[in-house]
Amino acid sequence: MDKMVFLAMSGAKEIMLRQASNNHNLANLNTTGFKADLDAFKSLPVYGPGAASRVYVEDQRAGVDFSSGTLISTGRDLDVAVNGKGYIAIQDHDGSEGYTRAGDLRVNSAGLLETGAGHPVMGNGGSIAIPPFEKLQIGQDGTITIQPLGQTATTLAVVDRIKLVNPADADLQKNRNGVLHLKEGETAEADASVSLGTGVLETSNVNSVEALVNMIELSRQFEMQIKMMKTAEDNDAAATKLLQLG
């Protein structure tokens, strides 16, 4: 009975982990530029003396879905989206350089250009500081041009240029903050071939229908494991009763 109980218990635990990952994706359905996490179950046979009689399962993170989300028009000057392949370089909370597709930019109270999640956007020489302005425009190459506060429309100043990169997807990994980093901890070089679209945002690439179907399927699998544990308990009770009769 112990084999059956431990197999069912292990299965239920790993299904719960898979549910958490799937629910995390579903919760970020409306998060700008979010990339879905991928999970996979791995079989783990128990080896030892005699024939292998048990196979456990382990939920493993299989990577990130790097497919693009849908572009939606906002008309907002500070909203940008990467055209095709590429990423916007940002400063993660630990100070390291990370990469994102989230282009919901804003200027904070300190004058720093940051994403909606509060990550400073990187430029040619570090994080980008924006002076007081009447109007701000972001070019396709990431160049930021402003009309300084109190100046006429003909007076324009180039502030900085957003660092745009295009590392290989295989070299990227996502941390718990949802920020992409190079696996070796290095920084990617700026790529002039990456361009931006202005007045648009890239939505999450999470497939809501698929995530909901997975949630139902995982729930049924979890219930099956619980039923197996209950069956093992009933079998154990029946065996104990038979031994008492003997």
* Chain segment 74-91, per-residue pLDDT in tens: 999 999 999 999 999 999
Task: Mark whether 193 and 210 lie in a shared domain.
Answer: no
Question: 238: domain range?
Answer: 2-66+206-245
Task: Mark whether 136 and 160 lie in a shared domain.
Answer: yes
The dihedral sign for the CA sequence 156, 160, 162, 164: positive
Task: Mark whether 62 and 75 lie in a shared domain.
Answer: no
Task: Mark whether 133 and 224 lie in a shared domain.
Answer: no
Buried (b) or exposed (e) across 123-134, using 16+ Cβ within 10 A? beeebbebeebe
This prediction's pTM = 0.84
Average pLDDT (112-137) is 94
90 is written with which tokens?
């940002």
Task: Mark whether 147 and 239 lie in a shared domain.
Answer: no
* Domain count within the chain: 2
Task: Mark whether 54 and 84 lie in a shared domain.
Answer: no
pLDDT-derived band at 45, boundaries 50, 70, 90: confident
Task: Mark whether 230 and 172 lie in a shared domain.
Answer: no
Closest CA to 174 of 104, 68, 92, 116: 92
Q: How many CB atoms lie within 10 A of CB 205?
A: 20
121 is written with which tokens?
């956007």
Whether 8 and 228 have beta carbons less than 8 Å apart is answered as: yes
Task: Mark whether 61 and 79 lie in a shared domain.
Answer: no
Task: Mark whether 177 and 94 lie in a shared domain.
Answer: yes
Task: Mark whether 99 and 146 lie in a shared domain.
Answer: yes
What is the C-alpha separation between 220 and 226, in angstroms, rounded? Answer: 10
pLDDT tens digits along 141-151: 999 999 998 88
